[in-house]
C-alpha cells in the first residue's frame, strides 16, 4: 500500500507506521534485514497490507547491490 509523491524517498510504504521508502532504504544500506527494519520502524506490524511491497522493494535493493 503506497502513496505516490514527487520524491520516491518520501513515498509511504507502510501506512500503519508511516514508514517511508527512504527510511527502508537507509536501514537496508546500514545492513538491517526485514525483521530488524520492522522492529526499528514498526512497518509490517500492523495490518500487513505493506508486506508484499516492502518485501519486493528489499528484493530489488538486494539485486541492485549484487550488480
How many Cβ atoms are within 10 Å of 32's Cβ, its own excluded? Answer: 17
For each of the chain's 67 residues, which pLDDT tens digit applies? 444 546 889 999 999 999 999 999 999 999 999 999 999 999 999 998 999 999 999 999 999 988 7
Length of the chain: 67
Distance CA 58, CA 19 (A): 14
Q: Grid coordinates standing for 63? A: 539485486
Q: In which residue are the cell numbers 502513496 written?
A: 3
Please name each of the domains of the chain with its CATH number.
8-66 (1.10.10)
Amino acid at each position: 500500500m503506497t502513496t505516490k509523491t514527487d520524491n520516491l524517498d518520501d513515498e509511504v510504504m507502510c501506512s500503519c507506521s508511516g514508514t517511508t521508502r527512504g527510511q527502508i532504504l537507509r536501514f537496508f544500506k546500514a545492513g538491517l534485514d526485514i525483521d530488524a527494519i520492522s522492529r526499528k520502524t514498526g512497518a509490517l506490524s500492523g495490518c500487513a497490507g505493506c508486506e508484499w511491497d516492502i518485501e519486493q522493494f528489499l528484493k530489488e535493493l538486494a539485486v541492485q547491490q549484487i550488480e
